[in-house]
Each structure stands twice: as C-alpha cells, then as structure tokens.
Chains A and B, each alone.
Chain A
Amino acid sequence: MLVSWHYKYRGSPMDQIDPRARWIFSFAFLVAATSTWNSSMLAVLFLIAVIWYSLGRTSWKETRRGWTLVLIMLFTMIVVNTIITGGGAGGVVPEGGQLVWPEGLRLFGKLLKPGLTVDRIWFALCQLMRIGGISMFFILIPYTMDSRSYGATFSKLGLPDKLAYTIELAIRFIPSLARSFSITLDAQRARAFELDDVKGGIVRKIGRIAPLIIPVTMNAILSSEDIANAMDLRGFGQRKRTWLFELKYHWWDYAVIAFGLLIVAVSLILVYGYKLGAFTVPPFFYQLFQ
C-alpha cells in the first residue's frame, strides 16, 4: 500500500506557512548554499537554517532516522573523504598548505605522518555548515508538511498535473518502500534468515541479501502497476485536475518567499559580483595550529 511520512499537526510556526512558500524558500536556500564556499556566508546561511528548523518544533526522537542517514553521509564526506583521504576537498582546497602535525603524530608508540592540513579542517567545517544547513531544510519537510498538500503544491507552483502527482508519489515512495522492506524482512526471518549473518565479500553480500532485495523490488514494480491502474480507473489525466487540498497565501508567506529570493540574490551578487564565493581560511585559524 502506498503510505506516507508520519506528519502531525503541531500548531508550530512552520504549520502556518503555505507549502508553496516553504518549497520556494527551501530551494532558494539550496541555491544560495551551493553557490558558495565562503565560510562567513555559510555561517550566516547555517544560522538561518537553524532558525528555520526550530520553527518546525520536531523532536529528535521523530527525526532521528533521517538524521542518522545524514550523519552517516556527513561522516563519510567529512571525516573519511575530506579529513582522512583529502579526496573530497579536491578542486576547492589548494594542494599543500600548513600541516596540522608538521612533526608527525605519535600514536601507540608509532610515529605517523598524516597529511591533514589546516585548510582541509576548515573546509570540513564549511562542508558541515553547508550540508547540515541543507539537511535541516529538507529533513523537516516530511514531518511538518501535510502529505495531502504535496501534489497540490507543485501543481499550484505551475508544474503540469502529471508531474506534480509524480513528485507526490516519489516523496511517498520512500516510506512505502520501507514498509515493504519491513514485511519482507519479517517473512524471511520466519524462514530463519538473519541479516546479521550476511558476511563475506561484496558479491557474496549482495547474493545473501537477494532474499530481501528481490521481493522488495518485485513488489515495488507490481505496486507501481497497481497505482497506475488505480489512477487510470479513476480518470487520472483526462482533464485539468483540481485539488481538494486548499492552499492560501498569507502576508507572511509572501515575506518568506521575498526573504528566500533576497538570500539567493545577495548570495549570487556576493559570489559573482564581488567574487566572494571562493574558499578561504581566515588567518586566526592558521594561528591556532602554530
């Protein structure tokens, strides 16, 4: 069955904002945050994200799954890719630079020569602010936006009905897939299959999780056919669609949209007009490692 994210009305400030204004503001933030590596700009944007996130009044408990995923991604990108291997900083952080441990690092009696530079640490901090900020905007959506509004919102934003409803289905696909996965996992566990037992190389691992992946994939395919049939049987796509979910702009929605556009405009002017978008390390940070 097609299910949706666990939304509940909290009476929070976020609940009062029109979903269209929220999507516009979120995408404006995304454009602004991805246009720059300037740490000051990213710090301001991060602060905006924190304030925005707090308007949703979500608890850690309800969003922890989403945050776990983001934290795994952040760990991989920042700790592994940027700090340990330096791969993620390529093209942004200049080669060479001041080493954090120029004399080497003694660990368990062994002298190591890590190539970690001060620039890469600062870059990791910038990445944290950028990805963390964007995540705050988008993690909030499933928990604080009424699932009934998805299709209507994108339609009212000017997208064709079919595309608007496709986006709604795409957003709801993730929790539906999770439910299907959970049922299949239970069915296979009942046949003494244990996920913890999946050991060995990558090919062996993939082979071992086939009992989960194949039924879930097959069900996703079958249910997409069911969804298409169910939509067709109720005349979907025949004429211009109307939406039951009512959307209404208030003055504060215009203010949110205006603020979003202002953020994009200021960011683009600073980046392309004043050339302030480049990655630079403030002098005080070098001094901290001297």
Chain B
Amino acid sequence: MTEPQVLPLVIRDLSFRYNSRGTPAIKNLNLELHSGEVLLLAGSSGCGKTTLMRCINGLIPEAYHGEMTGDILLYGESVRGNTLADISQNVGTLLQDPERQILGTYVLNEVCFGLESLGMERSEMIRRGEEALKRLNILHLRDKETFGTSGGEKQKVALAGVLAMQPKILLLDEPLASLDPASAHEALLAFRQLADEGLAVMIVEHRLEDVLAIHPERVVYMEDGEITYQGEPAGLSQVVDYHKIKLPAADVLARAKDAPETEFVPAVPPLDYSKPLIEFKEVGFRYHEDLPEVLHGVNLNVHAGEVIAILGHNGSGKTTLVKHALGLLKPTRGSVLLEGVESKSTTVAKAARTVGYVFQSPTQMLFAPTVQDELAFGPKNLGFDKETIQENVRWAIQSVHLEEELGTPPLALSFGQQKRVSIASVLSMRSRILMMDEPTAGQDYWNYQSFMDTILQMPGFDSIIFITHDLDLALTYANRIIVLFDGRIVADGTPQDVLKDTEQLLKWRLLPTSLLELNFRMFPQTGKFQRAEALARYIG
C-alpha cells in the first residue's frame, strides 16, 4: 500500500486580523494546494487575497502584525515558529511590482541574491542563476543592469530570482499588473510550464481571462475575507457577480442578456479638427546624449472631442511621449506645441492650466495633511480665488466618490483610494485635457469600470488621453487608438481600424481578447465597440 502524498500546502481554519483593524481580513479559510497545479485566486480589491498570501509566505506575522488563528501546513509541517527565511526555502513569492522586489544592480546578481543568502558555492550559484534565466528565455539579459530593463523584463528577472531558489510552491501576487499583453501571456505560459514540471502555483490576479487561458486546475473566489467558491474554472462564471470580476465576454453576454446595460456615451465635446490642442512635429527624444533615442520622428495631433488610448509594449515610449505634452520632457529634436505654444518656450506650471497629468504612482505626489488640502494644492498654484478652489475641490471629490474622506490624511487611505485622490487632485485644476498613465493598473474590474465611467462622463474636458496595457479598456472607452512600437507610432485611428488585423496586433505585442472578437462579430449590428454588458442589448 502506498503512503498518501503529503500536500505542499494545507490551510486549516485560517483567520487573521491586522492590529490596526477591528475586523478580520480573512476568516476561516480552508484550502489545499497540490503539486503540479495552477490555482487561481480571484476576488475584488480588499477581499483578503494579499493577506492570505502574506500568511503563507511568512510576511504575516513577521512583517505585518495581528491576531492569527488556524494553521498553515507546508508539507505536513506547521509554519508556526518558522522564520520567514525558513519558509522562503519552500515558498517563492513574486510581488505585484517587480521594482519593489529587485535588489541587485545587475541581472545575474539579482537572480543569485537568494542563493547568496543560502551560502551557496559561487559556481553552483552561477549554474542555477543561468538555468533560471534560460528557463524564462532571458539569458541574454544576464549582464545587464536591472534598472535598464523594461517592465516586462523586470518581472521575469524577479521571477528568475525566485525560481533560482528552487521553491516547491510559487505564490504570484498580481504578476501581470505591469506587463503588456504579450509579456503577460509569456509569463503565464512560464507559470504553466513550472506547474507542469511539478511546482504548486498559486496566482492572485484580476486579469481573469488571461489566466484562464493557461487552464488553471482550480479557481478559488474570495469575498469579504471568505472563500465563496472553490472548484473548476468553468463553474466560476456562474457564481460570481460579473460586475465585480471581469469574465470572458461570451459569459458576460450570456448572463447580461436579461439586464443589459445602456450604451456608454462619454461627455467630451463633438470632434473638432479645426485647431489641434496638442501638436507633435517630428519629435525625437533621448534621455541622455550617450543613450539611444527613445522616440523617433513622432508626428501627432490631438483634437477636441478625442478620447485617445495609447497602447504599446513595455518600454515602447508611451510615458515619454505624454510627458512631452506637458513639457516635463522637451524634445531633443522636433517640436511639441500646446495650443500653438512651443513647449520649449513655456513652463510646466503654465502648461498645467491646459493639461492635467495623473502619474502612475499616487505615493509619489500625496503630501497634504488632509484630502481637502491635497485637492486644493493645484488650484492654489494656478492662482485661483478661494471660492473657485472650494468649488473645484467639491466637484473633484464628488467625481471620485470620496466625499466622506475630505478630512482624512491622504496617506492614511488604501492604495485604491490614494489613486482616486491623486486623480481628483488633478481634476480639481479643471484642466481641459486630461492625461492618465495606466489609470486602472492594479484595480479590480468594478472599481476601474466605475472610475472610468465617472471620468469620461465628467463635463469640462476637451480631450482625454490614457496609457494602458488593457486592450478592452481601450476599445471600450477610446474613440481613437495610437499604438507605439519601439518609439514610433505604428498605428493611429479608430479602434475598429487599428485593432482589426490580428497578425499585426501580435507583432505589436498586443493580444486580441474575447471582447474584441465579440465586438467585431457584432459590429454590423452595433456600429460601435462596446463592453459586453452593453452588447447584450443586441441579442435575444
């Protein structure tokens, strides 16, 4: 008779409450993870996914303190009393933002950091480090500086650092958040392969459709700190609220046909091509004269009435491009004109009257003692009078639904709320053009959809420009899509024109989604790209 296999991970009645909170973040969780399987952990923001991960990898209770009950067994042994370093030999963790995880200045050093901690021989370290790099097809990065790698490469480098330690369990906390679609798909294939080779893989991810493409064995769905579904991926679509979690378009279509949404209409003014708001003329840019050019001869006009989505692979120059519009970067050749005024002859502060730019990370800008003061900062700098400032602050805070937090210090809010405050702090300046860099990154479906709906239905913007990796976001909200590839604009037009050629999309490292396919199929009826909930109006 064979002995029953000891499972890599068993969680029994696990509950945890942070010291800073009155209620538990997770409650009575029971879960098993098997070798060779991919387990997808889904749920909206704040449902307890990250807390569960922290309990497994030991960050709870070592770095985050609170009250924990229940038990976690790694290969049959309770983790209680084990140090984080002990646990790390079995459990490898990949964090959401690779920039927060990378310690080494060069790729091979980064990959070997954990092996150095284990006191491994140098030759063995190099062998294992190179093996991990080879496994992820990034051996060519071996001697590159980590800082100089693209977002997608950074994610792979961080993963190689985890894999080099040869963990038996791999925890992935929103590993796709900063990746372009093709890089995300490649990363997922790598995770699948690792599971097929015997690793136990747990993925926390909002990009459900992407993960479902690698056929996870099981899906766990959490709500309010509890597991509400555990089972086959196919069953998930039937039990979760499709407003909260982004399901494949066909599933949403089937479920939404009884209560379809109305067509979404943005509040920007009608298209007006008479006078461009922003003009890029043969713009070339390099960060340093010793470094290669990152934008090459970009020509682009932005007009009133346009909602523009800028797509492109990691490192294609998207952020560099939009920073030029505000004058944060000045072209090394060519010119950028904002309402006819060349960016080289004006200041950023003056340009900020016309262009509001929301940065990716809210923590890089929030500073004021209250949300109210934070929102008043921009208008004050612009010299608005007190009444106008008050009115703008009121309007901006209502736009992001955080009225009750006006007196709260912004830095005491959750990350999602901080993001909304950072956007409101730009909205309060009442700029005519709004630019947002990855406005929905790391936010769950319900939050990002309601946020984008609100922004696009706000009156007062002549044009809205947003950078995104999310093809569905672009096709749902934009009336113009620009694709950047290696610093050049390779496509510019309506969503239906730019996204029609699948082969071309793949070359640009963009992957067609089920929503895109559905929209093309239904285009003769709809005449317009829409979200799946709204497409449901056309069936039945």
User: Which chain B residues border A239 with CB–CB below 8 Å?
Assistant: 117-119
Given A237-B85, A239-B118, decide whether A4 and B105 contact each other with a Cβ distance below 8 A.
yes
User: Which chain B residues border A186 with CB–CB below 8 Å?
Assistant: 323, 328, 359
With beta carbons under 8 angstroms apart, the residue of A191, A231, A234, A243 that contacts B165 is A234
Are B365 and A191 within 8 A (Cβ)? yes
Cβ of A273 < 8 Å from any Cβ of B?
no
With beta carbons under 8 angstroms apart, the residue of B59, B88, B348, B363 that contacts A235 is B88
User: Which chain B residues border A210 with CB–CB below 8 Å?
Assistant: 367
Q: Please, how many angstroms separate the alpha-carbon atoms of A188 and B359 in the complex?
A: 10
Q: Which A residues between 190 and 238 are near B, CB-CB below 8 angstroms?
A: 190-194, 210-215, 218-219, 222-223, 225-238
Are A4 and B378 within 8 A (Cβ)? no
Q: Please, how many angstroms separate the alpha-carbon atoms of A1 and B366 in the complex?
A: 18
Q: Please, how many angstroms separate the alpha-carbon atoms of A237 and B83 in the complex?
A: 11
Given A184-B364, A228-B63, A244-B112, decide whether A190 and B359 contact each other with a Cβ distance below 8 A.
yes
Given A223-B100, A235-B89, A239-B117, decide whether A4 and B147 contact each other with a Cβ distance below 8 A.
yes
Closest to B367 in A: A214
Are B95 and A219 within 8 A (Cβ)? no
Q: Please, how many angstroms separate the alpha-carbon atoms of A222 and B377 in the complex?
A: 23
Cβ of B15 < 8 Å from any Cβ of A?
no
Are B117 and A241 within 8 A (Cβ)? yes
Are B366 and A192 within 8 A (Cβ)? no
Cβ of B86 < 8 Å from any Cβ of A?
yes
Pick from B349-357, B438-446, B477-485, B527-535 the stretch touching chain A.
Answer: B349-357
Closest to A238 in B: B85
Q: Please, how many angstroms separate the alpha-carbon atoms of A186 and B319 in the complex?
A: 13
Pick from B120-128, B275-283, B495-503 the stretch touching chain A.
Answer: B120-128
Closest to B381 in A: A192
Task: Encode A1-22 as 1/0 by CB contact (under 8 A) with B.
Answer: 1111000000000000000000
Are A192 and B382 within 8 A (Cβ)? yes
Task: Encode B150-169 as 1/0 by CB contact (under 8 A) with A.
Answer: 00000000000110010000
Task: Encode B288-328 as 1/0 by CB contact (under 8 A) with A.
Answer: 00000000000000000000000000000000000100101
Are B62 and A232 within 8 A (Cβ)? yes
Cβ of A254 < 8 Å from any Cβ of B?
no
Q: Which B residues between 222 and 272 are near A, CB-CB below 8 angstroms?
A: none
Closest to A176 in B: B147
A80 CB, nearest partner CB in chain B, Å: 32
User: Which chain A residues border B399 with CB–CB below 8 Å?
Assistant: none
Are B117 and A219 within 8 A (Cβ)? no
With beta carbons under 8 angstroms apart, the residue of B58, B108, B162, B411 that contacts A244 is B108
Given A4-B147, A235-B88, decide whether A245 and B109 contact each other with a Cβ distance below 8 A.
yes
Are A2 and B103 within 8 A (Cβ)? yes
Given A190-B352, A191-B426, A239-B119, decide whether A229 and B323 contact each other with a Cβ distance below 8 A.
no
Closest to A5 in B: B105
Cβ of B196 < 8 Å from any Cβ of A?
no
Q: Please, how many angstroms separate the alpha-carbon atoms of A214 and B361 in the complex?
A: 15
What bracket does the count of chain B residues touching chain A fall in? 35 or more
Closest to B54 in A: A229
Closest to A240 in B: B119
Are B365 and A188 within 8 A (Cβ)? yes
User: Which chain A residues border B86 with CB–CB below 8 Å?
Assistant: 238
A192 CB, nearest partner CB in chain B, Å: 4
With beta carbons under 8 angstroms apart, the residue of A147, A188, A238 that contacts B118 is A238
User: Which chain B residues border A244 with CB–CB below 8 Å?
Assistant: 108-109, 112, 115-116, 122, 125-126, 129
With beta carbons under 8 angstroms apart, the residue of A148, A192, A218, A226 that contacts B349 is A192
User: Which chain B residues border A3 with CB–CB below 8 Å?
Assistant: 105, 147
A183 CB, nearest partner CB in chain B, Å: 5
Task: Encode B330-359 as 1/0 by CB contact (under 8 A) with A.
Answer: 000000000000000001110011001101
Are B165 and A235 within 8 A (Cβ)? yes
Q: Please, how many angstroms separate the alpha-carbon atoms of A209 and B323 in the complex?
A: 23
Q: Please, how many angstroms separate the alpha-carbon atoms of A42 and B353 in the complex?
A: 57
19 A–B pairs (Cβ distance < 8 Å), ordered by A: A1-B100, A188-B365, A191-B377, A192-B382, A218-B367, A226-B100, A229-B59, A230-B101, A232-B62, A235-B89, A235-B114, A235-B118, A237-B85, A238-B85, A238-B117, A239-B117, A242-B119, A244-B112, A244-B126
The 6 tightest CB contacts between A and B, nearest first, are: A234-B114, A192-B381, A238-B85, A214-B367, A187-B365, A1-B99
